[in-house]
Structure 1
């Protein structure tokens, strides 16, 4: 008789997970430039050569640690009249209730001083925000509209989660939705003047 018990992770898988967790912690605290392979290895209690063995380079390790999927609303299930509201609700749900927010914190903290990290942020928004925005409004200006949506989301994330500006931190989710949702709506659809 066969039992379908979950397979215990191999030593190699556990080591990789340990390295990745150490990298996430240090990238969140110090950004890309402030976290060395040696520091990550020390945090993971392994030899630095093991970090390179499993991830090949600091860039590859960073890319894995900073992996982030906004999972913005599917355009098929979100009508044009509520896309701004749907985007801000999803964004808040990710930042305030998901362990995957760590990836975006890593990216934002590192992007200001590191071109590799900045490119990763550009990739996230080009591949995750633009396609959603392109489904609404004039396709010819989808890039500009997606850029405005990204500026609003990145500004909110920076002020609320990285800088922790007291007035922005004090806002309830309902207040953010009420104030930011209509702005995202206008940006995403191109309704009114941009």
Structure 2
């Protein structure tokens, strides 16, 4: 493969991924089609299949997600809840691909497993660091924190409940921060 051909190939792949991400976010997994994604990327649908094999494999590429959670051990313990809420709101506000994964996970058992793994590993690992890696101690805390974060995301970004959508980030941090603080770093 020549360098020019390799660049075109990488460019085509990037265009497909960008188009797929947008379609999956806007329409959800079920309604997004390979034909529509290919049209958005200005390529033949066969090229999507050539690079990714199937719609499911394309979605998996698009929904491979890193929450980029901060190191909780590096911040004052009494600020963890507020900082984590702010971090996650910033993610939801700037990267809608997590919303696509959440929407799809509600209806698809395979994607639900992926969402469980995403939150189960990344959130669990981050919380466990506060407890010297003790997974047993961190697991219920991480699980309850995930219920709060996913509930907020569902109501604000997917269902778009007007009172929740109308809240400022500061209001959300003020309401959710103490709850997340209790779950992640508080006394039981």
- Normalized against structure 1, the TM-score is what? 0.85
Is the 1:31–1:109 Cα contact (8 Å) retained in structure 2? yes
Is the 2:92–2:99 Cα contact (8 Å) retained in structure 1? no
Q: CA deviation at 1:139?
A: 4.2
Q: How big is the alpha-carbon RMSD for the aligned residues of Structure 1 and Structure 2?
A: 2.1
- Whether 1:181 aligns to 2:177 is yes
Please give the per-residue CA displacement for 1:79-132, whole angstroms capped at 9, x wherever unaligned.
Answer: 322211121111122222x3xx22201101111111222122112101211111
Selected match of 2:130 from 136, 140, 161: 136
Please give the per-residue CA displacement for 1:134-171, whole angstroms capped at 9, x wherever unaligned.
Answer: 12356423222111111100111111111111100111
CA–CA distance in structure 2, aligned partners of residues 107 and 71 of structure 1? 16
- Normalized against structure 2, the TM-score is what? 0.88
For these two proteins, the number of residue pairs brought into alignment is 183
Is the 1:84–1:188 Cα contact (8 Å) retained in structure 2? yes
- Structure 1 gaps, min length 5: 1-6
SS in 1 for 2:73: coil
Selected match of 2:110 from 99, 103, 116: 116
Q: Is the deviation greater in 80-89 or in 178-187?
A: 80-89
- Structure 2 gaps, min length 5: none
Selected match of 1:32 from 20, 29, 38: 29
